[in-house]
Structure 1
Amino acid sequence: MKKKLIYNPTYLILSLIAVNIISYFLFIRIDLTSNKKYSLSPVSKTMIKKIDKDISVTLFMSEGLTPDKIKLGREFRHLLKEYKTISNKAFTISTIIPNNSDKEALAEQLGIEPMAQEIAERDMVKIQKVYFGAVIQIGNKKETINILPTTALEYEVTRRLKEACDTTKPTIGFLRGHNEMLRQKTQLIEHELSHSAKIESMRIDQFTDLNDYKVICIVGPKESFSKEELVRLGQYLEQGGRLYIALNHAVGQISYSQNNGFINRVGIEDMLEEFGLKINYDFVVDNYCGRILVTQDQGFLQLQSDRHFPYIPIIQNFSSHVITKGLNAMLLQFASSITNVKTTSAYTFTPLAKSSSISGVQKVPVFFDIYKTWTRKHDFNQPYNTVAALLNNEDNNSAIVVITDADFMEDKFFDPFYISNINFAVNSIEWLADDSGLIKLRNKYIENQSLKVVSDSYRRFLKYTNFFLPIVLVLLIGLYQYREYKRKRLRRSQPGHID
């Protein structure tokens, strides 16, 4: 006779209580995402273990936040708990709800900026002031994070841990002396870089030691480099130097008096070609492009209309390199194509960004026809033109990032492509300057996960499978249970049977 198991609900309740007590002290979760979005990266684990000071994080979250902010706050707390489980020092996490004037004043005093949030109340829309941010204190040093939907939380926390570990920051030099782009036009890029590096203007002269700079940025020079300057840059690279080069190689002029494009050579192109990177004498044109305003005279009136302008390509094809991870689209203001040429140099060529499948190039000289009818056969017949590339030399650890446009780096708050433009520049320079791998975290949370394109037949197969498969499974389960029920009845009808 088989012994029946007796289930006591008391044991189940006690087990649940024990699991909750253990989970309170030991935070564990399983991350099944492809990019390990909910797990700490190795660089974060290394940084938190290096900290020899107590850490405290105070999260400010107003009442009545939108669901997306509440979810983000919950994920931030989970992330902090993972840091806490690895930390060798005291790591405290607290939350303050700014629901009175004193707590709101405290939040603003610590650098948490109030945000305006729309709320629906009795068929009316009201504007509510809310606070959403965190204050991280490492030892006696405090830093503030204003949390937005696009904030890379792990990057922001780990960056502050790195700053607490590293007593010295690398120096990034912005080259001057060739009529480069004014630094006032790239203030937001420099602000982002200033968190992890010192930013300086510099020149190539007898008083400057180029080896003092981890990265030298050459942005939009208009005047030529001398032979001596190119020799100095070559020596800098031989000793492991790193360059970020953004050239306005293709220059467009659109006005009432001029309507043409030309090439601006500054001499650095010859050095790059020796390393295997050739910048061509052309303008990249793309069917997926920006728009320009065109003024037309209509009698006594002047009317403005916007038209597609293929000479301003929108770049969406990015490599799998960490520099371009998470980027969606960049808008370039005139660009030339880049090709890899064979040389005896030890540099390896890696494309970073390319034009679309419906694109081409226009050889110089170029004359802009605003009202031109563009065709794929004659104009967009050379797809996937490289506009940004990386040269890497593993022998001496030098590297060069090149993009054939510099104007894309300008501060443009109302440009819909502004974030990706800035991220490409910041990612490139930080990757060149950083050896810790911190840059890998910048776009970890905003990586674009696009659906794979499938054929119509496969789509129909998935459609009908999703519809009929549950029905078939229910019928099979019902048939199985029916047969089991009949077997039990048959066994019970036999003499001497005991359950």
Structure 2
Amino acid sequence: MDIKTKVKTNRTVNLILFLGVIVVVNLISSNLFTRVDLTENKIYTLTDATKNVLKNLKDRVIVRAYFSEGLPAQYAEYRRIIKDKLDEYKVYAGDKLQYEFVDPSDSLGKERARADGIPQVRINVFENDQYTARNVYLGLVVVYEDKKEVLPVVTDISWLEYELTRAILRVSSPETYVGYVTSNGTPDMQKDVPAFVQMLRSQYNVMPVNLDRPVPKRVSTLILLQPTEDLTDSQMYNLDRFVRRGGKLALFVDKIHADFDNGTARKLNLDNLDRLLANYNIKINNDIVLDRYHVQITVPQIIGSVIRFVREDYPFIPIVMNFDRTNPVVKDLENINLIVASSIDTSMLPNSGLKYSILARSSQYAYRMKDHYTISPNYQIPPEMYNESNIPLAVSLFGKFKGMFADSSDTSTESPETKIVVVGDGDFVKDKFLGRDAARNPNMIFALNLVDWLT
């Protein structure tokens, strides 16, 4: 059966429609992503990660909890849960972790809270048949040697282990540098991906990297996010040399550039990047993966002089739920959304000598758009066209990678054991697709898991 495309000739209608797509896409995460209780589902592999962090502490970590006395039942329960969690931490850390609960009700306690950066917060308390406002303390501080991390207000226990373990990692880990490529038309760190960069900076030192120059030696992990301009030969050499020295590489790459302003899509010329990836036995295809499991968006329709808003299917943003459940990076994720993603060709990997994991795949009902690219909500295909299954969308690689270049100053032709991750999409970490609670968006958790695994 031929693919059916609904066509509207009114350019004004289409422009309004695509402006509507942009607005709604900004809200997708808040309507779609399912929040996960970390203490139950252990997303971000927190239980195993926490044990490893605590077992490998080199010196003593001190946790100070500032919780007011006489809190309402909900917050009093928080205090108990925090104490139980800290007792559990001590099982694995032994004498390398100490904690205390500080009573901030007197002047000495208030002064200690102020010095540790724990603020008073106002809560409403129902007593004597009425609500009254109280100023209370609900914070934690983690101290290691001369470094300190503050959790100023703990109001969501489901994220306690994640936040606490991240704070311990932040103060106890040696300085690690993650590079973000700023050349080749990548998204602006401050305008396009500030939430992602901010989350990275909460654990790592993040520095911009221009591939026109060699990657600085202190960078251990490099992120190449959504390049729109191909690598030059010298840039390809610098990137390959980084991998040959053992650097870890995250590639979040769009092969088809989606323009949500006018609903068009076009193939990007990334031939040199393709050559480099082929040398590493991986390929990102020039296609768009559509999936029967996808988001709905709200778009405006003009009927006469009336504008109304309707919900329409949008298979260009799949709801990805098909993960490698044996891999700690993704095993506890419920779903993520990839935005106009391309498929990944893994056919060279079985004979490459590399260890690899197909982290995320399409559902059993997917379709690959291989030409005549569009991202219009008007584009429809019949159900029987969703006849491909388990299409790779994200892959991790581990092993010794063959170099493309060698010269008199660097004769190494193979890297030491290192890691590369490839995702056929770069939009998934942009602020406009993460929603208001970007830090806890599953897309963000997925991206941070990848960087943590690499680093």
Pairwise CA distance, 1:246 = 0.9
Pairwise CA distance, 1:100 = 8.0
Q: 1:349 to 1:138 in 2, by over 3 A?
A: closer
CA contact (8 A) 1:360 1:385 kept: no
Counterpart in the other structure of 1:73 = 79
Counterpart in the other structure of 1:47 = 56
Pairwise CA distance, 1:305 = 2.7
1:111 aligns with 2:117: yes
* Equivalent AA in structure 2 for residue 270 of structure 1: R
* Equivalent AA in structure 1 for residue 212 of structure 2: D
Q: 1:188 to 1:107 in 2, by over 3 A?
A: farther
What is the TM-score when the length of structure 1 is the normalising length?
0.68
Pairwise CA distance, 1:186 = 2.1
Question: Which residue, out of 287, 295, 298, partners 2:300?
Answer: 295
CA contact (8 A) 1:47 1:158 kept: no
Counterpart in the other structure of 2:291 = 286
Pairwise CA distance, 1:409 = 0.7
Pairwise CA distance, 1:37 = 8.1
**CA offsets 1:208-248 (integer angstroms, 9 cap, x no match):** 34433101110111111012221222222122111111112
* Equivalent AA in structure 2 for residue 432 of structure 1: L
1:3-402 superposed matches below 5 A: 41-48=50-57, 50-51=58-59, 53=60, 55-61=62-68, 63-65=70-72, 67=74, 70-84=76-90, 92-96=98-102, 107=113, 110-112=116-118, 131-145=137-151, 146-149=153-156, 152-166=159-173, 168-184=174-190, 185-206=192-213, 208-255=214-261, 258-266=262-270, 267-320=272-325, 321-342=327-348, 345-368=352-375, 370-378=377-385, 380-394=386-400, 396-402=416-422
* SS in structure 1 of the partner of residue 329 of structure 2: helix
* Equivalent AA in structure 1 for residue 306 of structure 2: L
Q: 1:341 to 1:126 in 2, by over 3 A?
A: farther
CA RMSD across the alignment: 3.5
Q: 1:264 to 1:38 in 2, by over 3 A?
A: closer
1:425 aligns with 2:425: no
* Equivalent AA in structure 2 for residue 228 of structure 1: S
Counterpart in the other structure of 1:5 = none
1:413 aligns with 2:435: yes
Pairwise CA distance, 1:73 = 3.4
* Equivalent AA in structure 2 for residue 47 of structure 1: N
Q: 1:365 to 1:47 in 2, by over 3 A?
A: same
What is the TM-score when the length of structure 2 is the normalising length?
0.74
List runs of 5+ in structure 2 lacking aligned partners. 1-39, 401-414
* Equivalent AA in structure 2 for residue 429 of structure 1: V
Q: 1:325 to 1:86 in 2, by over 3 A?
A: closer
CA contact (8 A) 2:221 2:454 kept: yes
* Equivalent AA in structure 1 for residue 445 of structure 2: N
CA contact (8 A) 2:244 2:416 kept: yes
Q: 1:58 to 1:127 in 2, by over 3 A?
A: closer
**CA offsets 1:245-285 (integer angstroms, 9 cap, x no match):** 11122222345xx4432222323122212322221221111
Counterpart in the other structure of 1:26 = none
Q: 1:87 to 1:176 in 2, by over 3 A?
A: closer
Q: 1:96 to 1:231 in 2, by over 3 A?
A: same
**CA offsets 1:8-53 (integer angstroms, 9 cap, x no match):** xxxxxxxxxxxxxxxxxxxxxxxxx9979889954134234x21x5
Aligned residue pairs total: 393
CA contact (8 A) 1:330 1:417 kept: no
d(CA) in 2 for partners of 1:254, 1:374 = 20
d(CA) in 1 for partners of 2:364, 2:224 = 30
CA contact (8 A) 1:353 1:389 kept: yes
Counterpart in the other structure of 2:35 = none
* SS in structure 2 of the partner of residue 422 of structure 1: helix
Pairwise CA distance, 1:141 = 3.8
d(CA) in 1 for partners of 2:275, 2:49 = 43
* Equivalent AA in structure 2 for residue 58 of structure 1: A
d(CA) in 2 for partners of 1:39, 1:241 = 25
Which deviates further from its counterpart, 101-110 or 416-425? 101-110
* Equivalent AA in structure 1 for residue 209 of structure 2: M
List runs of 5+ in structure 1 lacking aligned partners. 1-32, 434-499
d(CA) in 2 for partners of 1:296, 1:200 = 45
d(CA) in 1 for partners of 2:46, 2:211 = 43
Pairwise CA distance, 1:129 = 6.0
More relative contact order in 1 or in 2 (CA 8 Å, sep 6+)? 2
d(CA) in 1 for partners of 2:281, 2:73 = 52
d(CA) in 1 for partners of 2:310, 2:128 = 42
* SS in structure 1 of the partner of residue 198 of structure 2: helix
Pairwise CA distance, 1:337 = 1.1
Pairwise CA distance, 1:291 = 2.9
* Equivalent AA in structure 1 for residue 329 of structure 2: I
CA contact (8 A) 1:316 1:330 kept: yes
Counterpart in the other structure of 1:497 = none
* SS in structure 1 of the partner of residue 383 of structure 2: coil
Which deviates further from its counterpart, 186-195 or 93-102? 93-102
d(CA) in 1 for partners of 2:374, 2:48 = 53
Q: 1:309 to 1:280 in 2, by over 3 A?
A: same
Counterpart in the other structure of 2:406 = none
